[in-house]
Chains A and B, each alone.
Chain A
């Protein structure tokens, strides 16, 4: 498709166009930027998807600016897109933009993008921003980012939070542990292994079988490649033997 055809498809809310962004020429980003003010919310959301798929020079900066969109649906799409592009804007620029974003989810995504760099030189700058964060959801994403950037205090706090997790925090923390990808942190899930509280469905309304805290700990250990006797293929209700095996493996990890 030509640039003009893509622009027309975006204006017409044709979602099949998203895959076309990938082959768009270098001028695509500037063209989209010029169109944005005339687009409605759905077209802006669609444009964010196309720009992320295009992934050309300037895509990151354009998407970062689009995370300020007044419509959270558009801002979130831009934030997701920013997480996909290969050329990010300078990280200090992203950090500086975080407090200016109204939607906590968008701030959370930007924290995650900064954390994914795992570059400790951004730790103090990000800490300063996180200090002013008032959304509990965004704070969680921020703390994960600070652990990824090497914050030792945040790492210690994270371990405590994992160890003391309530059932409805388990899946979020599981996702954080997998994203941080430090097998030693899995040791903090040891208390989960003796907790049979339900966390997430693996059956349906017909068969309301729920994965328990202990099952999520086993699955987390597997994803973090903790050596254990049995490797599960999926999250399931594991036998006491599997749970005991993982407990032994986690206990053997250094603190």
Chain B
């Protein structure tokens, strides 16, 4: 198919306003909570220094698993035929569309004999095929008009060897009052956490039942009280984290409530349940050793009861990020309003390590950049009470200027380095 191009010299045409035309782009092919088959993609700009070689977005896939990525025809008509190729089928192979077949702008129904499943419109189905024991990268290309036609878009795919985090759940009774969270709920939570971390090649496996722990002498029954003391030094919180940790697993401690004695919005004594979860990695533990009257900072996550499984799972996934050495997205930029971070805010809202679990358009003083629909709703659905969920993307492109921009690489390295296991 011929395309007429007119080339203009910008020096000889001073009135020329350059425009970057993006005929085709890629997007997450699902809405709502993370879908293991439709991961989000890291589409931070085009310039990368490592981890993700594509001049475009990058997506992660686990070895032997199939994912789909949506192709968005931004400046190309539906009638235009688009073909897809992989630079190396031994790293990630294209399952659909089949070789020599164009992307279909309409859904393709499942075969009547069940031999092939339904395929969604304009979606590329990719399978991680790498047999390497380390992460492998490959480019997927979208061609215009024919299988060998010009490339109009590139998608980087990182194929990850599978990693498993074993989880030991603890049910903590505080002054005789235990949590309502059961082992069944914990298993539900971690199935969803696995959906979130599939983009990094990591799944979670809850081992055994819930181990009963008993602590006494706390200020409030069923509650861990938070104070002006740093949480890494909070005796009640760290006492919980030091209850019989399993040294080969991620330890997840469940109890009834947090009680924040600093936040007085709920009354002069403080506010219950302003916090959903708190986590610490080995780095924090190493930096906060035991002293007289202080048990030392533990490693793992602490969670309070939540009746909303999505809220509990999103929070657990976020806290696990902290236990794996991640800080908030770009150190809180995109939310704080104190840095020139307007450019960062949508990515911040899409990111699992955003400062908050939900997005609201409320007080401009604290929610400075949450005033447009795109900023309030990033496609991850709502909690049971209607609040809009923050995104669950983990970035995988290393970009100068963004703190911990290669989150997936950091999480995987932290995993291999046992960052989430007790000292």
Q: Which residues of A are at the interface with B, using a C-beta cutoff of 8 A?
A: 15, 18, 42, 49, 69-73, 75-76, 80, 102-106, 136-137, 167-168, 171, 197-198, 200-211, 219, 233-236
**CB of A242 to closest CB in B, whole Å:** 15
A-side contacts of B423, CB under 8 Å? none
A105 with B413: in contact, given A167-B403, A208-B328, A234-B232 (CB under 8 Å)? yes
Does B248 sit at the interface, judged by CB under 8 A? Answer: yes
A-side contacts of B107, CB under 8 Å? none
Q: Say whether B50 contacts A167, CB under 8 Å.
A: no
A-side contacts of B324, CB under 8 Å? none
Q: Say whether A73 contacts B163, CB under 8 Å.
A: yes
Chain B positions 255 through 288: 1 when the CB is less than 8 Å from some CB of chain A, otherwise 0: 0001010110000000000111111000110011
Q: Say whether A15 contacts B413, CB under 8 Å.
A: no
Q: Which residue of A lies closest to B274 (CB)?
A: A206
Number of A-B contacts (CB under 8 A): 114
A42 with B164: in contact, given A204-B231, A207-B231, A219-B287 (CB under 8 Å)? yes
**CB of A128 to closest CB in B, whole Å:** 22
Chain B positions 213 through 245: 1 when the CB is less than 8 Å from some CB of chain A, otherwise 0: 000000000000010101111000000000000
> Which of B134, B284, B297, B332 touches A200 (beta carbons < 8 Å)?
B284
User: Chain B binding site: helix, strand, loop or mixed by DSSP?
Assistant: loop
Chain B positions 157 through 180: 1 when the CB is less than 8 Å from some CB of chain A, otherwise 0: 000011110100000000000000
A-side contacts of B288, CB under 8 Å? 202, 234-235
Q: Say whether A136 contacts B50, CB under 8 Å.
A: yes
In the bound complex, what is the Cα–Cα distance between A167 and B284 (angstroms)?
16
Q: Say whether A205 contacts B275, CB under 8 Å.
A: yes
B-side contacts of A205, CB under 8 Å? 275-278, 318, 355
In the bound complex, what is the Cα–Cα distance between A151 and B165 (angstroms)?
38
A-side contacts of B163, CB under 8 Å? 72-73
Q: Which residue of B lies closest to A211 (CB)?
A: B287
Q: Say whether B132 contacts A18, CB under 8 Å.
A: no
In the bound complex, what is the Cα–Cα distance between A195 and B147 (angstroms)?
53
A168-B403, A202-B231, A206-B274 known, 15 other contacts, Cβ within 8 Å: A15-B248, A49-B248, A75-B133, A102-B132, A102-B133, A106-B416, A204-B278, A205-B276, A206-B258, A209-B230, A210-B327, A210-B331, A211-B287, A234-B297, A235-B288
A168 with B404: in contact, given A103-B134, A208-B332 (CB under 8 Å)? yes
Enumerate 25 A-B pairs (CB-CB under 8 Å) in ascending A order: A15-B207, A15-B248, A15-B249, A70-B133, A72-B163, A76-B417, A105-B417, A136-B50, A198-B332, A198-B403, A200-B284, A200-B327, A201-B322, A204-B226, A204-B231, A206-B262, A206-B278, A208-B355, A209-B230, A210-B331, A211-B287, A233-B291, A234-B232, A234-B288, A234-B291
A-side contacts of B98, CB under 8 Å? none
A-side contacts of B148, CB under 8 Å? none
A201 with B284: in contact, given A105-B413, A233-B291 (CB under 8 Å)? yes
| CB-CB nearest 5 A-B residue pairs | A235-B287, A105-B416, A76-B416, A204-B231, A204-B278
Q: Say whether B278 contacts A137, CB under 8 Å.
A: no
Chain B positions 115 through 157: 1 when the CB is less than 8 Å from some CB of chain A, otherwise 0: 0000000000000000111100000000000000000000000
A-side contacts of B283, CB under 8 Å? 171, 200
A-side contacts of B262, CB under 8 Å? 206-207
B-side contacts of A206, CB under 8 Å? 226, 231, 258, 260, 262-263, 274-275, 278
In the bound complex, what is the Cα–Cα distance between A102 and B134 (angstroms)?
6
Does B246 sit at the interface, judged by CB under 8 A? Answer: yes
Does B209 sit at the interface, judged by CB under 8 A? Answer: no
Q: Say whether B331 contacts A18, CB under 8 Å.
A: no
In the bound complex, what is the Cα–Cα distance between A205 and B263 (angstroms)?
13
A-side contacts of B417, CB under 8 Å? 76, 105
User: Chain A binding site: helix, strand, loop or mixed by DSSP?
Assistant: mixed
B-side contacts of A15, CB under 8 Å? 166, 207, 246, 248-249
Does B418 sit at the interface, judged by CB under 8 A? Answer: yes
Interface residues on B, range: 35 or more
A-side contacts of B279, CB under 8 Å? 204
In the bound complex, what is the Cα–Cα distance between A151 and B409 (angstroms)?
29
Q: Say whether B230 contacts A236, CB under 8 Å.
A: yes
Does B32 sit at the interface, judged by CB under 8 A? Answer: no
Q: Say whether B133 contacts A72, CB under 8 Å.
A: yes
Chain B positions 27 through 63: 1 when the CB is less than 8 Å from some CB of chain A, otherwise 0: 0000000000000000000000010000000000000
In the bound complex, what is the Cα–Cα distance between A75 and B134 (angstroms)?
11
In the bound complex, what is the Cα–Cα distance between A235 and B282 (angstroms)?
13
B-side contacts of A204, CB under 8 Å? 226, 231, 275, 278-279
B-side contacts of A219, CB under 8 Å? 287
In the bound complex, what is the Cα–Cα distance between A219 and B413 (angstroms)?
24
Q: Say whether B132 contacts A234, CB under 8 Å.
A: no
In the bound complex, what is the Cα–Cα distance between A69 and B260 (angstroms)?
47
In the bound complex, what is the Cα–Cα distance between A253 and B283 (angstroms)?
27
Does B23 sit at the interface, judged by CB under 8 A? Answer: no
In the bound complex, what is the Cα–Cα distance between A208 and B356 (angstroms)?
11
Q: Which residue of A lies closest to B400 (CB)?
A: A166
**CB of B329 to closest CB in A, whole Å:** 12
**CB of B284 to closest CB in A, whole Å:** 7
In the bound complex, what is the Cα–Cα distance between A41 and B230 (angstroms)?
40
In the bound complex, what is the Cα–Cα distance between A18 and B47 (angstroms)?
46
A-side contacts of B355, CB under 8 Å? 205, 208
In the bound complex, what is the Cα–Cα distance between A78 and B175 (angstroms)?
42
Q: Which residue of A lies closest to B402 (CB)?
A: A168
Q: Which residue of B lies closest to A42 (CB)?
A: B164
B-side contacts of A208, CB under 8 Å? 328, 332, 355
Does B289 sit at the interface, judged by CB under 8 A? Answer: yes
Chain B positions 379 through 422: 1 when the CB is less than 8 Å from some CB of chain A, otherwise 0: 00000000000000000000000011000010001001110000
Q: Which residue of B lies closest to A18 (CB)?
A: B248
Of B133, B277, B318, B417, most A-chain CB atoms within 10 Å: B133
**CB of A213 to closest CB in B, whole Å:** 12
A-side contacts of B246, CB under 8 Å? 15
**CB of A208 to closest CB in B, whole Å:** 6
B-side contacts of A210, CB under 8 Å? 327, 331
